[in-house]
Chain A
Amino acid sequence: MSIFILCIPLFMFLFLGLVGMKLSHKLTGFLGCLGMGACLTLCYITSFTYFFGGDFVNEAGERIQSILWNTTWLQFTDHLVIRLGFLLDPISAMMLVVIPTISFMVHVYSLGYMEGEKGFQRYYAFLSLFSFSMLGLVVATNIFQMYIFWELVGASSYLLIGFFYKLPSAVSASKKAFIVTRFADLGFLVGILILSYYTKTFNFLDMTSNPEGVFGSFEGATFMGASVLTWALVLIFMGGMGKSAMLPLHIWLPDAMEGPTPVSALIHAATMVVAGVYLVARLFPLYLLEEAALTIITVVGCLTAFYAAVVACAQVDIKRVLAFSTISQIAFMITSLGVARPEIHEGLGYMASMFHLFTHAMFKALLFLGAGALIHAVHSNNYTAMGGLRKYMPVTHVTFLIGCLAIAGIWPFAGFFSKDEILSAAYGNHWFWGLWLSMVAGLTAFYMFRLYYLIFWWKNPDFGHHTPHDPPLAMKFPLIFLAAVSCVAGFIPFGHLVTWNREPYTIHIDPVVAASSLGIAIVAILLATYMYRKENPLPDKLANTFHGLWTAAHHRFYWDELYLWITHKVIFNSICKPIAWFDRHIIDGTMDGFARVTQWASCSIRGLQSGNVQTYVWIYLIGALLMATVTWLCLL
């Protein structure tokens, strides 16, 4: 049965891609939703059977990792075989809930959002392709299968970002997303090569069930002062950094907002961008072998979380605010994995990371879909065109508020629980990480409520006769559903379901951490309320006072400019162009030079063969006389 989880979206992609053009929009949308709905049902059944069926628990009470099927796809050597398979374990079962849920919601939402767009069929085909790839990624049984689907999600992301292909900005955004993640994938690929060379396998289970064996197979090999295993793990993490938009490879995600908003909700908020987190979680037992790799992960996560939160405070485009908030939240998950140790609260960080992944997917998709509803209503991405919308769009307003409360970490919404676990894990590792993340959590609450107030309060703009209104039912339903999930998801006993060693345990909420983080969040929200509830000059004044900082944050600390400089000035102008010149003038010039030398040589001697008999006679005569003279002299 599990094979249909992958087959249905793949079939829908091929079907809609090949014959979709002949179908009407309604039928396409219906088929797309139907296919995804079927897939959703299958995923739910599989996942619930896994968690609650009881067949997948061994005698010791651990959940087992089970490979449902596995077929050979390509055999490299006797050991190294790429298989396509279906691995069911706590994290993949959890993802089997997250992905189809969000994907289905986005399918439904798009019925309203994309109505009447040219290329509607293409859009649904690509959504199916993405769902297929993402599901294939999470159920991968070996690291190469993961890489395959990793590339496929990248490609479907490329296609969807560039969906409005007539807009140059969408084209360049899609290109940027693909190339940046491709660059990161280079690291991933090299990491896979190194890891598989030493361990002689691609299979996750062979690696993670026997980390000591993996450690042993490296035989203490070192390269440039670090162990080769660290190199491999860090390079693999580099792939994750690219997909999950960690500093310094984050630049593609804000631009990816050029895609249709439901796509941003699905790919760039809830599912694809957490692939990096998922990758680290998948290989977590190996990461535990190398403290250095985990430290790097923690540092990258912390820096990114802070950076993205600061930038989010100074953005105008609401989708970009949400994009930076996504980056920041994913960095929370990454950090949480980085600080997780088996000995700290029984590996709490791992569980917290997965928990946050789950809740974040729900409320961030909600926020994005809410943003989509807003954009749909006012036809602009900027909050300057909004304001006071709470009266016009009550449903959007309430659901958006729930999303904001969830991400800010207010009890009893989902974000509170997961973020609290992350903070506990971070404090458990070192007070510094904990303090850092608490500060970022405060910033999160601040910028989210800044956004909320600027959209729904602030001022009462004049919309003229074109009054914004709540979206149609197809768009409202996903909002309400996801808002409901965001309200209750925190009460899921995650510790019983997903843990690093798959042994269930009960989560305790640390009262000190919980109270302090709640306090910080409330203070931040109050600050945002004070600053942005009503139109007032305070924010502008602040921006002018800290002009340098504000401008820098508004320009995302000039990372894009830096990359632009590197790609255009360094790579294009200093590498590609000289090489092309070298090829045309030096290499090709040499070859042409051979031809020219030959031609010159023959031109210079062809005068001898003038065809003028009189010259020949002259030469003959002189030659004959010379020879006669020489002969005569010799005889003498």
Chain B
Amino acid sequence: MIFSNILIYFVVIPLVMLGGLFLCRNMNQIRTVAVIGSTALLALSVYLMFDFLQLRAAGADDIMLYQGSWMWFEPLNIHLAVGVDGISVAMILLSAIIVFAGTFASWKITPLPKDFFLWLILLSTGVFGFFISIDLFTMFMFYEVALIPMYLLIGLWGTGRKEYSAMKLTLMLMGGSAFLLLGILGIYYHSAPEGGRLTMNLLEISANDAIDHNWQYFLFPITFVGFGVLGAMFPFHTWSPDGHASAPTAVSMLHAGVLMKLGGYGCFRVAIYLMPFAANELSWIFLILTGISVVYGAFSACVQTDLKYINAYSSVSHCGLVLFAILMLNNTAMTGAVMQMLSHGLMTALFFALIGMIYGRTHTRDIRQMGGLMKIMPFLAVCYVIAGMASLGLPGLSGFVAEMTIFVGSFQNSDFFHRAFTIVACSSIVITAVYILRVVGKLLFGPVQDEHHLQLTDATWWERFSTITLIVCVAGIGCFPNWIAGLLHDSFIPIIEVLTK
């Protein structure tokens, strides 16, 4: 029975929420539905994590736990197949936290609050569906479900050049998914040895190991680029600055916090796991690109004046580090990559939430027109400093843990090429410090720039709630990293195994 599988509820709850939202008549009802739903998701994902850890501790050593598979389309052997390992559990937890915080961050969204939440919840359906799927087709379907609402969310509720940004973002990501579809079809038609039943199931494809090397050479780059576009890989990152700058607060949070992680997740779950031979052979090309991303994004962020642009470029840099670490193809670096996804997800969500709140008060995002906010809105300013510190890798917050794991892992590759690029990537910690402190210094410290800002108020209770949730998570990972590393560590063993075969 399909409903006996816990994972299905990650899709069912948002769908029920959608139904509930349709019936809502006023703002309070909408908020009630959204809060109840996102709390349920958060509770469920926390439960899932503990249950998962218990199962693992009890000796369940399948690659994926909670597996379930229901036939969907017989002729093509498409299933609705679900299953999670440590990485997916971590990503689900991340998504739930950010959906939860995002709900509170968009407490007063106008206009059309109902429609906003409908699209937002549909987006999260896609995200959760993606992370629980182990069937390429359902994965791809949920991926698309997560992308499309973005267009409307930015186009309708955004700011600035929103139509342009929405169109650009959607088209570029659709371009990426066109590559992806091609890759998935290629994988599908080579998923079984001669005469076998073709399949879309990740685990079966990997077990069959039937994609021959020439095809891998073709399919690996396509799939990697397909997911890489969403992971903001240089040179396919330009949707990110415009898209994030125009998006409303909760959408920026969800997009930078979770959606960009779909890219990184897909890269190793599909591209590397299914095509290990080509991954070994071709990783150097993408290492160069992602290495460029890391430094390039950081340098670009140094001269931006719009808060959201700064953050978007910083995301390019940090997400570049995710892909960079994945391509190092060893356990430590990949663990670091997932930690970086978590860390970046949380702290970027925090950043975008804070920027949204500041923008909502000052009505400008230009750092040249603001200053001395520490005096005016101390709570938001302190949170901003904490977010900044997390971003530049202060120990005790999540960024440090993730970056150090990545650097140590990357350095385990002993050839000159990998070493050189690791050191280049390391240098981003300095540049990050430059742009973060530049913003903090201009925005929060110094004299007040605009007399009108003196009348502004500090955060409201829902804003405080949203930011504190995220800060607690950021500090939690930063102070006690070992349990999260433990959660992830085993999950990479199968991937490393196929890579070294």
Contacts from A to B (Cβ < 8 Å): 72-77, 80, 82, 144, 148-149, 151-152, 155, 158, 162, 165-168, 171-172, 174-175, 178-179, 182-183, 185-186, 189-190, 193-194, 196-197, 571-572, 575-577, 579-580, 583, 587-588, 590-592, 595
Contact = CB atoms under 8 A, between A and B. Distances in A.
B441 A166 contact: no
A579 B299 contact: yes
A189 B300 contact: no
Contacts of A152: 394-396
B299 A587 contact: no
A35 B423 CA distance: 41
A196 B238 contact: no
B395 A77 contact: no
Contacts of B374: 165
Contacts of A75: 482, 485-486, 489
A162 B238 contact: no
Contacts of A149: 395
A166 B168 contact: no
B375 interface: yes
Contacts of A74: 401, 404-405, 481-482, 485
B349 to A, nearest CB: 22
A590 B296 CA distance: 17
Nearest to A592: B168
A80 B410 CA distance: 13
Given A74-B481, A591-B172, A151 B300 contact: no
Contact of B303 (A165, A190, A196, A576): A576
A77 B332 contact: yes
A480 to B, nearest CB: 36
Contact of B304 (A76, A183, A580): A580
Given A186-B426, A190-B426, A166 B408 contact: no
B444 A165 contact: yes
Contacts of A158: 437
Main secondary structure of the interface of A (DSSP, over half): helix
B300 A579 contact: yes
A555 B300 CA distance: 33
Interface centre among B408, B446, B482 (most CB of A within 10 A): B408
B177 to A, nearest CB: 16
Nearest to B401: A74
A196 to B, nearest CB: 7
B429 interface: yes
Given A165-B444, A172-B441, A575 B408 contact: no
3 closest residue pairs by CB, A with B: A165-B445, A148-B395, A576-B302
Contacts of A151: 393-395, 400
24 contacts: A72-B482, A74-B401, A74-B481, A74-B482, A152-B396, A165-B446, A166-B372, A166-B375, A166-B445, A167-B446, A171-B441, A172-B441, A174-B437, A175-B441, A194-B411, A196-B408, A197-B414, A571-B302, A572-B303, A576-B299, A580-B300, A580-B304, A590-B235, A591-B168
A530 to B, nearest CB: 46
B430 interface: yes
A76 B405 contact: yes
Contact of A179 (B389, B404, B434): B434
B441 A182 contact: no
Contacts of B300: 576, 579-580, 583
B437 A178 contact: yes
Nearest to B381: A165
A576 B302 CA distance: 6
Nearest to B389: A155
B407 interface: yes
Contact of B430 (A76, A144, A186, A576): A186
Given A74-B482, A190-B423, A196-B408, A179 B437 contact: yes
Contacts of B389: 155
A175 B385 CA distance: 13
Interface string B292-332: 00001001101110000000000000000000000000011
A595 B171 contact: yes
Given A73-B482, A74-B485, A577 B405 contact: no
B242 to A, nearest CB: 8
A161 to B, nearest CB: 11
Interface string B412-433: 1010000000110011011001
Contacts, number: 127
B250 to A, nearest CB: 25
Contacts of A148: 395-396, 400
A470 B45 CA distance: 63
A155 B394 contact: yes
B31 to A, nearest CB: 28
B430 A183 contact: yes
B238 A193 contact: no
B231 interface: no
Contacts of B331: 77
Nearest to B239: A591
Given A151-B400, A576-B299, A576-B303, A76 B332 contact: yes
B476 interface: no
Interface of B: 168, 171-172, 234-235, 237-239, 241-242, 296, 299-300, 302-304, 331-332, 372, 374-375, 389, 392-396, 400-401, 404-405, 407-409, 411-412, 414, 422-423, 426-427, 429-430, 433-434, 437-438, 441, 444-447, 481-482, 485-486, 489
A189 B426 contact: yes
Contacts of A183: 430
B181 to A, nearest CB: 19
Contacts of B242: 588
A72 B234 CA distance: 37
A155 B401 CA distance: 16
B228 to A, nearest CB: 14
Contact of B446 (A171, A572, A575, A587): A171
Contacts of A73: 481-482
A152 B446 CA distance: 23
Given A76-B409, A168-B446, A175-B438, A572 B394 contact: no
Contact of A182 (B412, B430, B447): B430
A77 B172 CA distance: 38
A148 B393 CA distance: 10
A182 B429 contact: yes
A52 B239 CA distance: 66
Nearest to A172: B441
Contact of A197 (B405, B411, B437, B441): B411
Contacts of B303: 572, 576-577, 580
A329 to B, nearest CB: 28
A505 B430 CA distance: 44
Nearest to A165: B445
B454 to A, nearest CB: 13
A1 B427 CA distance: 39
Given A162-B445, A583-B238, A179 B405 contact: no
A124 to B, nearest CB: 16
Given A151-B395, A171-B441, A178 B433 contact: yes
B396 to A, nearest CB: 7
Contact of B427 (A186, A194, A577, A595): A186
A82 B408 CA distance: 11
Contacts of A576: 299-300, 302-303
Nearest to B413: A197
Given A186-B426, A588-B242, 9 more contacts: A75-B486, A144-B404, A152-B395, A166-B372, A168-B447, A175-B437, A179-B434, A576-B299, A591-B172
B389 to A, nearest CB: 6
Contacts of B444: 165
B238 A591 contact: yes
Contacts of B235: 587, 590
B408 A80 contact: yes
A349 to B, nearest CB: 32
A112 B463 CA distance: 38
B259 to A, nearest CB: 19
B176 to A, nearest CB: 12
A579 B423 CA distance: 20
